[in-house]
Structure 1
Amino acid sequence: MFKLVGHNLPYEDTVPVGGTKTVQVVFNPPVGTSTASPQTGTITINHNISGVPAKTINLSGTVVETTRILNIIPSGTLGFGKIGIYYKLTKAVQFINGGNSSLTVSNISITDPKYILETPVPFMVPANGGSKMVEITFAPTEVSIVEGQLTIDSDATNIVGPHELRGEGINPPLVDVFMVLDGSGSMNENTDGGLKKIQRLISAASLFIDLTREGLGDKLGIVRFDHPTVEYVTNLGVINASSKQTLKTKVGQIQPQGWTSIGNGLNYAFNELTNANISTATHKVVLLLSDGMENRPPFVDPVNGSPTITIPTQPVIEFYTVGLGLAENMNTTLLSNLAFNPVNPSKGYFHLTENDWYKLHKYFVSILSDTFEQYVIQDPVYYLGTGDTVILPVVIVDADKGATFVVYWTNADSSINVELLAPDKTTITQENAQSMTVKHMKGDLYEFYNVSFIPPSPWTDRKKGQWTLIIKGTQIPESANKERLSVSIITPSDISFKASLDKGIYSTGDTITLHAEIQEQGRPILADNVYVNVTGPNEGLGNVLAQAKLSATDFKAKLPLDSDSIYNMKSRKIAILQTIAQKQLINYSGNNIPLYDDGQHNDGAAADGIWANIYTNTKNEGVYTLDFKASLKSRLGESTTREKTLSTTVAVNKVDFAKTIIAVAKVPVDRKKYVGYNVTVIPKDSFENFMGPGYANIISINASGAELVGGVIEDNCGGYSQVIQIPESTNLNTVKVDVGVYNSQASFKLGEKAQSGVTTTVKPGYLWLFLLIIFIVFFMILVVFRWKKRP
């Protein structure tokens, strides 16, 4: 039972003086050896050392039973939940060997073909706790509950019975969508390409309507808002071919007027989405578009105690917000906050077009893809002249269930032709699309082809490979020179790409955590390159407005009063400065930030499909646009791409009172035997950024033992003032002044500020008394002077 390793007996060898020799002995009991008691033996070592007896070493070994114990985790039924038909979900079970000998799994069989074994067999599971992950995919093709059994053939010494599998194939979850569209007077403003803002909105909304699913039971409603008018363009109703045409017709009839009341528009949407008798889908979405700052109640953002709306928490509503135009012309903090979902940050985004008007269509397509669980493969931008051709190759992989190729452009007078070339070299045009079982639609600023790969589509077995989009500039207006156009290719796919941030809005200097989740069939997949192109402002709006001084004449004469600025002097100042400069006030620049899945960059565990990194260059206030891009490998090794764009706002909302300017000036007041002081606050953050004008509603100035005269007044340059009055006999050092800006607080004694640089003014009502005193003093000086001059 005991044998020398590598040697036959008798074994002789020589050990040098001071040296050593190692001999290995193995215990190798034959089959059938009793396990009841230890087996023994001896090694006798004879040597030539005189006077030293031979050396004997006792050997002992116990025979144990060979075990290969197979345990499976989870031990019960492996549940896949509800999966849309023709989609796939992969889950893993863990095979663990609790025995003392390696275990071999020779075969695994599954009773229902809708369950697919992804792990090759046979395979070995190491002893003593060794494990092997076995992947199983559920791929339903019909609406039903699917039960199956996993049977395992192995040399396990324990009994391993069948493992139960359970999943349910369902139709895609229904969606109820409400579009809340700005119909205020500013939507009549002109844009590039000879179109008004409202015309661009009508086109983008029509594209969204055209792209929605038909015949499944999804619902769409539209409300337009201004002030005083808020109305349903259409109530929430089922989407079908007929209703789509009605929706587009009614959207086309929107006439801009009045002021901006975002709260009223949202309330109308909430009234229907929260009514269980009207909105029956579990997935509810609001798409809000606005081009300006809300200036009529009810407000979403509180303004000086004005009425506000209540955002419902149940049912959960996803928000997607779009700012049409420049960041300085709207409350981007409000739009960012509305769109952020702290429970699921990858659901709900804020987008800003700036003056890149084609982006309105881009963002409506992106929101539609999120709404209906689709993903953007590519969305490049091109410049196209008359006679130019753009050729865009697009790779479709096995995981993709369909593809929509959308082209959109800037000028309504541009004539553009779009064709699609399939992998088998079939050319699809607007003339033959229907006969090819391809959906084709064309609007005034867009054109698209939609191809389904779900059976019984004729493209099911012809989808994989390179599709080619061919875009030709048939006639581009001379005024445009080159047409700026973009393309979005979206797909319902088993490969998901979800981008998210960790907050709705940020303060200057905050760190933005960038996240991207990449999976196929619910499992992580490989990516070659994942990064984010971050574009941010070169200067904050608060700084621009604080440093730009405008006279009263400028405020009155430079620009006619309009609906967005008649009651909002910040909006008016911005508009005047834009008119003077003939350009946008804020410029932007960008850089690329790589994302990692190594467990060291806020990304969780390594290789878990979560890619992340941080962005720290946020010292400037404003809107930051983040373009997430990924080059991926599918489970079958196919190369593909995914993209997602979203925006967020960085605000000057952490005031640093060490940098903030606080001044006190003595001023006259009406009340007798009282003295007035004007307390002025010019808020700044730790980077010396001015908060700027437009925030009087979040500034508070109070003083103990003093009375407030009126409210907080702003100077439209970032300064906020409050007049207080106290009895003349009051000791200024007993008056405590409290200043609040957002959640920041500071206090000081009135005497501390009033002693340095007190300014004195004269009340106009007592001017005659002041002049009389001056005259008397002057007269007395003259008399004294003449008296001294007498001989």
Structure 2
Amino acid sequence: MTHIVGTVQPVAQPVVIGPDSGLPPTSANTWLFELDPGAPPPGGIKFIIVHLQNLNLPANNSVEIDLGYDKDILTATNDFDFWSRPVNLAAFPNGKVPIRYITNGAATGGVTLDRFGRGERHAGDGDPTSNSNCDPFLLDANYVEPTFNTSLFCATPPDFENADCATAGDVRKTAAPSAGMIVHIDIAADGVTEIVSSFSGTLVGPDLVLTTAQLFAFAPAQLQSAAIIFNYATTCAGARPANYAGQFHRVKRIAKLGFFGAVDYALLQLNVPAAGLGITPAAMRGDVPAAGEQIFCLHHPEGAVKRLSAKHTAFKTVISADANSIVADLDVASGSLGAGLFDAAGKVAGVLRGGSGCNIEFFPTATALDDIGNPPDEPTFRDVMIVLDRSGSMALDGGAGQAKIDEARDAASLFIQLVQSDGPNQIGLVSFSTAATNPVDFALQPVNAANKLALTGPAPFTSGIIGGITVDGTTSIGSGLAAARDQMLLSVNLRSILLLTDGLQNTPPNIESVTGLEGIEINAIGFGAASSLNGALLTQLSEVHNGLYVRADDGLDLKKYFALAFGNIFAAGALLDPEGKLAAREVAGKPIKFNVCGEKTITIVVGWDKPGQTLGITAKTPGGASVTAGTAGVQHATGRTWAFLRIKLPHNGERNGPWAVTVHRTGEAEPVALRYFVNVIAEAGTKFVRWPARDRYFTGDAVNPIVRLVGGGSGFPQKVKVSLTVSRPTASAGTLLTRARRPQPPSARRGDTIPARQATMLALEKSSRKPLIDYAEHRFDLSADPAHTKVAARSSGLFGATMTDFLNVEGTYTFHAVATYAYGKDCISSRELQWSVEVDVGVDQEKSDVKITTGAARPDKTKTITAVVIPRDAFGNHVGPGRPDAFTVTGTPGTTLTGAVRDNGDGSYTVAGVIDAGVRKPGIVLARPVRCECRASSRPGVRPRERK
């Protein structure tokens, strides 16, 4: 339903306004520039939206943009760029928009005017025969109708009219003032070109507007370009009302957003005048209307004046409705998206989200209200519990000659030191083996210098509580989760668990039995070879609880993933995430380049694989200045095998542009070859997130790794490209184990039990001196096309690619998505995101072997049977030994199974049963385990309910 109501025009030469321009003031303390939009397009200029960037407003300096009905005033609290509300160009006799830079307390500063939105009649994006007319200031005495895109009409001409046609006292007349039109900067169907677009919304609170979620990135920051007008309406006959004065109100932020599965709504908070809007908000209906109920819709099709659908002479009725959808045959068009569906009492019952002619779909407000049950306050702060495995297997080598527990201590201390002190964030620690520590190792407490010292000790942060953790015992992951949950029962911050485990749960309570985790985001890191982990269970745990699962091969990976987890939990994710090698003779690595575009802080994290060596960090600003740990105003820390540098931006006046980071040796130790990683973590600005997916994967499944680019304070970026690299196993573990025929018994490590399947895989790896499974990388380009995202609006920020037959072998699949984007011509940046999923064998009846032996008849004329099965998937991969949980077995009619499935240790399984008298041919059915398509009720970015 994308449409165009204007274009974005570049300024021929960007203009600096203010002292930084080098020009003298035009009056006392004031630099005035008047934007001349140039020759008008056919049909004239309807409005202007001014874009300013590189805001430099020290002290009490400010910028004023005259709108013709109000002023937009910018101060140091504004972000690095800014879109104005629509300007009524006709209010200025010379046809130019006044922009003033005013100094107050500082003699320096400036802003740059680089482009502007221009409202105009424009051909449609999807239907070039249509032609919009968004004229919010009603420049023509009689409104000129658009040429509508008719694809969403049920009748021609459409069954709608100017909202003023409803008679006085009619519920439709009373509801009409609450309906509004939102104008914003969008992206055209080509995914690159900036356009001006519009959609509809409804006032449901003194400063809250209900609309669709499809056109917004999931961001807690301001929506830079969005503004709403409520009085854009003509008389019934289409004339401009007497004393008409159109006025827009800025969208301040997203107060609440629901956008996944069938859920589609957004609550937008407005900046409103001190005296209020003078409009009675519409009430949101708390139940789903029944089929046959009378309804109507108020909307702005193609940017047109306010319309009532159907005409006031009759109501339309609901065709069908349930908790996820209300369907009606109302006539709407592009620009109607987000409009309110009203019932006969004037309550909003739904939000328009799509559909087709005669079948328009609305998302029910009743379901939205259930989700809105949490207060719509902007979530900012976190309570995080680190849940650390200290079972006996953590004494084993972590892959680089250090014990796993030592690698875990380094990674956890890095995470703790990265969290900034003296804010509302809280952190705690619980470790587990046969049971969780009781009391927990470190109760949830505010992040401050004293608590960090208690947890990690002084530099190099290897002592404290973390350093005192000892390993022994079996593995009860559930006990660790339950203990972490109990620490957050009274939390009012967002709640997160960061789980690290290196093995299979073998002692209750198990993960599946732990309740009360709803509303807690869980990120899980599996440490070690896939053979030692239940990756499928960890995938399911993180997917259900809106987190990410990753598998770390060694200690270097572990530190990297802890750093990335910090970025995903507390910041806006990673700008980049490369790895490198430093030969023993090399003093420094090659400079790694990255771009900054609007970020408020960057944290450069470096980790290396060998203790005893130390690496330093040098960053280069766009202007060529060096920033090190010794630079004033920079935060830094160095651990045993990691270091970080935190730079608040702007740094000495520099922020946007190309930066570089170089890793170099420090200290006096004899140099050895090192592997290292570099993370650049971004605070504020654009965020890159995983879109909710299924919680269990099988071979043969189609998979679509949808990601979402979330615009920050500057709105949604342009020129977006998203690539994906997937590391896929090259062989089936089940098949290798079946063919090897070298089963090993269960083993024990410091009291921890290693099951037979995992013990066999470890033995095979040891004998071959290499990992059992190799991996190959596959590259894909992700698309914003609705065919790949299942969302109508390209500006939703979703990118995906449907992959069929890609999951063709079981094991760990690691996904690495990279997004590059721009704001304007020169402000370029990137985000990276990594996650893993564990794919299980999807048992296929036709590819599996089943051999049934019938025994002698019993006195009741039934007969015993013995079935031996060799389960495989559609690609011929074996389940292999040790996995009776990987499939289900049931009897065909007349066949009853009487015992549990017995593992024969060679890839085959035996089950006993009986067949009824008269049944000639017994049979059994193999199937996959039931997939739990469930998800935690609290969404990412939703504040948990306050607990009494």
Superposition TM-score, scaled by structure 2 size: 0.58
Q: Is the 8 A contact 2:690 2:708 kept in 1?
A: yes
Query: Compared with structure 1, are the counterparts of its residues 662 and 506 closer, same or farther at alpha carbon in structure 2 (3 Å cutoff)?
Result: same
Counterpart pick for 1:721 among 910, 922, 927: 910
Deviations 1:554-587 (A, max 9, x none): 538xx66665545x22222222222222221111
Q: Tell me the residue number matched to 1:525.
A: 717
Contact 1:111 1:149 in 2 (8 A): no
Structure 2 counterparts to residues 289-304 of structure 1, below 5 A:
289-301=500-512
Which among 912, 924, 928 is matched to residue 742 of structure 1?
A: 928
* Structure 2 letter corresponding to 1:467: W
Taking a change above 3 Å as real, the CA distance of residues 429 and 482 of structure 1, as seen in their structure-2 partners, is same
Summarize deviations over 1:231-266 as a string: whole Å, max 9, x none: 411111111111111122111111111111111111
Q: 1:288 aligns with which of 488, 493, 499?
A: 499
> Matches of 1:96 and 1:662 in 2, distance apart?
77
**CA distance in 1 between partners of 2:531 and 2:727 (Å):** 16
Equivalent-residue separation in structure 1 for 2:895 and 2:118 (angstroms): 84
Alpha-carbon shift at residue 340 of structure 1 (Å):
1.1
Which range moves more in the overlay, 169-178 or 463-472?
169-178
Task: Identify the residue that residue 471 of structure 2 maps to in structure 1.
Answer: 256
User: What secondary structure is seen at the aligned counterpart in 2 of 1:369?
Assistant: helix
Distance 2:909 2:113 in 1: 67
Q: Partners in 2 of 1:240 and 1:418 — Cα distance?
A: 25
Specify the code of the residue in structure 1 equivalent to 2:446: V
Alignment match, 2:382: 175
Question: Which residue does the alignment assign to 1:450?
Answer: 646
On the 8 A contact 1:597/1:603 being kept in 2, the answer is no
What is residue 125 of structure 1 aligned with on the other side?
A: 120
8 Å contact 2:617–2:645 — kept in the other structure? Answer: no
Paired residue secondary structure (1:293): coil
1:400 to 599, 619, 622: 599
Deviation digits for residues 651-710 of structure 1, max 9, x if unmatched?
A: 113x22111111224679999999753222222222112222333245445688888665
For 1:628, the equivalent position in structure 2 comes to 817
Paired amino acid for 2:675: R
- Corresponding position of 2:444: 236
**Deviation at residue 72 of structure 1 after TM alignment:** 12
Question: Residue 539 in 1 paired to residue 719 in 2?
Answer: no
* 2:565 alignment partner in structure 1: 367
* Change in 2 beyond 3 A, CA 1:702/1:569: farther
**Residue-pair matches, total:** 622
Change (3 A) 1:366 1:649: same
Contact 1:520 1:635 in 2 (8 A): no
User: What does residue range 409-424 of structure 1 map to in structure 2 within 5 Å?
Assistant: 409-424=608-623
1:437 aligns with 2:602: no
After TM superposition, list the pairs within 5 Å mapping 1:578-617 onto structure 2: 578-602=765-789, 604=791, 605-606=793-794, 609-616=797-804, 617=806
Gaps of 5+ in 2: 1-42, 50-68, 104-110, 123-130, 136-182, 186-195, 197-215, 232-238, 254-270, 272-376, 457-463, 932-948
Name whichever of 283-292 and 381-390 sits farther off.
381-390
Find out whether 1:380 has 2:588 as its counterpart. no
**Pairwise CA distance, 1:713:** 1.3
CA gap of 1:120–1:235, structure 2 versus 1, over 3 A, is same
Structure 1 residue 217: Cα displacement? 1.1
Contact persistence 2:841–2:877 (CA under 8 A):
yes
1:777 aligns with none
Question: SS of 1:444's equivalent?
Answer: coil
Residues 121-160 of structure 1: matches in 2 within 5 Å? Answer: 123=118, 125-126=120-121, 129-131=132-134, 133=183, 159-160=244-245
2:596–2:657 CA contact under 8 A, matched in 1: yes
Query: TM-score scaled to structure 1, two decimals?
Result: 0.69
Matched, 1:214 2:406: no
Where does residue 281 of structure 2 map in the other structure?
none
For residue 487 of structure 2, give the secondary structure of its aligned residue in structure 1.
Answer: helix
Aligned partner of 1:163 among 237, 248, 253: 248
Q: Does the 8 Å contact 1:699/1:720 carry over to 2?
A: no
- Residue 448 of structure 1: CA displacement? 0.8
- Aligned positions of 1:699-718 closer than 5 A: 699-700=888-889, 711-718=900-907
Task: Name the SS for the 2:470 alignment partner.
Answer: coil
Contact 1:224–1:230 under 8 Å retained in 2: yes
CA distance in 2, matches of 1:477, 1:414: 6
2:763 is matched with 576
Task: State the shift of 1:174 in Å.
Answer: 1.3
Q: Is 1:483 aligned to 2:674, yes or no?
A: yes
C-alpha distance 536-90 of structure 1, shift in aligned 2 (>3 A): farther
5+ residue gaps in structure 1?
1-66, 302-307, 746-791
Q: Distance in 2 between matches of 1:463 and 1:90?
A: 16
| Contact 1:603–1:613, Cα closer than 8 Å, also in 2 | no
Assess, with a 3 A threshold, how the Cα gap between structure 1 residues 90 and 151 changes in structure 2: closer, same or farther: farther
Answer whether contact 2:845 2:926 (CA < 8 A) is retained: no
Aligned with residue 640 of structure 1, among 829, 838, 861: 829
**Pair member with larger Rg:** 1
> Is residue 2:707 matched to residue 1:516?
yes
Counterparts of 2:742 and 2:184 in 1: how far apart (Å)?
A: 71
Tell me, in whole angstroms, the C-alpha distance in 2 between the residues paired with 1:95 and 1:423: 35
Q: Provide the rounded CA distance (Å) in 2 between the counterparts of 1:408 and 1:587.
A: 25
Contact 1:598 1:606 in 2 (8 A): yes
Identity in percent: 24
Deviations 1:462-511 (A, max 9, x none): 23344332222458999x95211010001113222234463233221222
Corresponding residue for 1:354? 553
- Asked if structure 2 preserves the Cα contact closer than 8 Å seen for 1:385 and 1:482, the reply is yes
- Residue of structure 1 equivalent to 2:528: 325
Deviation of residue 89 (structure 1)? 9.6
Q: 1:429 to 1:735 in 2, by over 3 A?
A: same
The question of whether the paired residues in 1 share the 8 Å contact of 2:880 and 2:906 is answered with yes
SS at match of 2:838: strand
The CA distance in 1 between the partners of 2:561 and 2:857, in whole Å, is: 55
**The residue matched to 2:481 in structure 1 has which SS?**
helix
Instruction: Give the CA deviation at 1:601.
Output: 3.8
Q: How many Å separate the matches in 1 of 2:652 and 2:802? A: 41
| CA–CA separation in structure 2 for the residues paired with 1:671 and 1:360 | 63
Deviations 1:602-636 (A, max 9, x none): 37444654332223321111111111112221235
Q: Structure 1 pair 707/649, CA: closer, same or farther in 2 (3 Å)?
A: closer
2:495 pairs with 1:495: no
Structure 1 residues 122, 88: CA separation in 2 closer, same or farther (over 3 Å shift)?
A: closer
Match of 2:65 in 1: none
Cα distance, 1:673–1:204 mapped onto 2, change above 3 Å: same
Q: Tell me, yes or no, if the aligned pair for 1:524 and 1:609 is still in contact at 8 Å.
A: yes
* Mapped partners of 1:387, 1:543: distance in 2: 44
In 1, the alpha carbon distance for the partners of 2:667 and 2:634 equals: 26
Give 1:220 deviation, angstroms.
0.8
Deviation per residue, 1:257-308 (Å, 9 max, x gap): 11111111111111222x12xx121x1111111111111111225xxxxxx2
Deviation for aligned residue 1:411:
0.7
Amino acid paired to 1:280: V
Asked whether the 8 Å contact 1:108–1:151 carries over to 2, the reply is: no
SS at match of 1:614: coil
* Residues 701/437 of structure 1: CA separation in 2 closer, same or farther (3 Å cut): same
Indicate how the Cα distance of structure 1 residues 639 and 374 shifts in structure 2: closer, same or farther if over 3 A, else same.
same
Partner of 2:537: 334
Distance in 2 (CA, whole Å) between partners of 1:462 and 1:485 is 28
Report if the CA contact (8 A) 1:703-1:735 is conserved. no
Whether the aligned pair in 1 keeps the contact of 2:696 and 2:839 (CA below 8 Å) is: yes
CA distance in 1, matches of 2:378, 2:919: 73
